[in-house]
Amino acid sequence: MEKPVAKDPGFYIMVLIGLLIMFGAPIWFDLFAIMQVTQYVVLSVYALSLAYIWGFGGILSFGQSCFFGLGAYTFAVSSINIGETTFPFILSFVLPAAFGAALGYFMFYGRLSDVYLGVVTMVVTLIFWKIINHTAGPEYSIGDARLGGFNGIPSIPILNMPGDPDAWLDPAQMFKFFMFLLIVVYIGLRVLIASDFGRVSVGIRENETRSSLLGYDVRRHKVIIFAIGSGIAGMAGAMWATYQTFIDPNAFSLEMSAKALIWVMAGGVGTLAGPILGVILLQWLSLKLGTLQFLNNFVILGAILMVLVLALPRGLVPSVKHWALTGWEMFRRRERAAPPAKEVTSDV
């Protein structure tokens, strides 16, 4: 069971680290490094969307990229037509959350098992990917925004200050805003998990039958959890679209869904800090391995992931926490078992 937020020192440490990075990174790093760190921040928000519904709701989605891509295309189309990014950014959360709630309603009230639920989410993602890939003609447009098919949508507007379309955010300002959103998402999810709703959600994850016998509406809780995770993934998609000023059907690809699963598994299912750490380590590792010429970087990365999963089946953060607690307990036992020092008397 999660500790209350007020009694969890790890929560304050994570927020403090986030604030230090938000204000310190633009001072410490050059422009290229800032752009790279911004990518980690966006993908961390995306990873948290799956970390919440899987780790604290027990819902394993193989198609999280469906909501990521939906949010990205929602932002791209609406911002091009409106000419301003404030409302499109809000819409990129609302629309995927509404679609996630509708999809979750049919899945959970239809009493699909976990296996079929994973298949349905994966199939929905493939349907979106297939549809968007076949919108390359000029007739496939929504207002002034041409979908572009496999060529994608270029020239997506950069985030602007609310109410001022001409005040675009520069890379440092965009990084600070995205980092602020990551901190807000982390705090919001942590508070939600520690609330009564979150405790019931964890109880449902552990034993659905027992939770339903206690009088809780298991299906309603799952729909809400799935909708929240879908909205967060959609917002991450909008951040990705405006960060790149471009989006294509690869946002709906199974590769994007698989990456989210890998980040959460590597960092630790049932944690929020773990997936963030998984994004940073694995994305940094992918960048470094991409510079190697003698061997395909995907082969090396795959081998590292296999070793990581086999050696740390619970994930990086839970394993490190377990080792630290075990070491502390051993130290305390030795202290209690140590014989008291003999008192030395003087003959003088």
Q: What is the pLDDT of residue 300?
A: 67
> Of all residues in the chain, what percent carry a pLDDT higher than 90?
57
Q: Which tens digits make up the pLDDT trace of 6-54?
A: 778 888 999 999 999 999 988 888 888 899 999 999 999 999 999 999 9
User: Which pLDDT band holds residue 298 (cuts at 50, 70, 90)?
Assistant: low
What is the Cα–Cα distance from 172 to 26, expressed in whole angstroms?
Answer: 6
Q: What count of residues does the chain have?
A: 348
7 CB-near residues (< 8 Å, 6+ apart):
none
Pinpoint the alpha helices (H) of the chain: 9-28, 31-55, 65-82, 86-108, 114-133, 171-194, 196-206, 208-213, 218-244, 254-267, 273-289, 297-311, 316-337
Q: Which tens digits make up the pLDDT trace of 225-262?
A: 999 999 999 999 999 999 999 999 999 998 899 899 98
**154/162: higher pLDDT:** 154
Q: Which tens digits make up the pLDDT trace of 60-105?
A: 889 999 999 999 999 999 999 998 999 999 999 999 999 999 999 9
If you average pLDDT over residues 285-295, what whole number do you get?
70
Backbone phi and psi for residue 167, each to the nearest 5 degrees, phi listed first: -95, 80
* Residue 342 clears pLDDT 60, i.e. is over it: no
Cα radius of gyration (the chain)? 23
